[in-house]
Amino acid sequence: MIIHIVPRIHFEQIKGSCIEDDYKSKYRIISIKGKGEDYPFTGDHPNVLKLNFDDITTEAIAKEHDLILFNYVHANQIMEFINKPSDLPIFVHCTAGVCRSGAVGEFLNDYLNRYKMTEATHMDWIHNINEWAEKIIPNVHVKSVLYGYLREVGY
């Protein structure tokens, strides 16, 4: 499964256009926004999962700054979304396309391309197509919650 990690601007540039509709029909998209941001899409679509959480790693930071910490509810939404039958490639975006989307993308790569697949010939590796970032810096809390959720629920 091909997984693209991109910054928010990737979708802001096509918002409201026929290209946006094309993306929604050809890809599954996990759209991550934080406090004070809007989703870079018009309307809702079954191929778009909209998540709201901030790029933070502790509950203390969340409480102090009135932010949303990634949790099992978000993990469940991701797992339900990606486990729907589909061969469509996946795009994951957050503001910069580095930390939150990087963590989700790395997890999805492990889950879809290693955990669920049995033949090496079916593996596609994660694609980070950020123009200005040579590698992602995944949010450690997001990854920890996703792997913890997987261990606990056992998809």
pLDDT one-digit tens code per residue, 84-141: 999 999 999 999 988 999 999 999 988 998 766 544 434 444 444 444 446 688 999 9
Tell me, rounded to whole angstroms, the distance of Cα 18 from its chain centroid. 23
Domains and CATH numbers, the chain: 3-153 (3.90.190)
CA distance 1 to 147: 19
CA distance 54 to 68: 5
What is the phi/psi pair of residue 92, to 5°?
Answer: -125, 130
- The model carries a pTM of 0.88
CA distance 114 to 120: 8
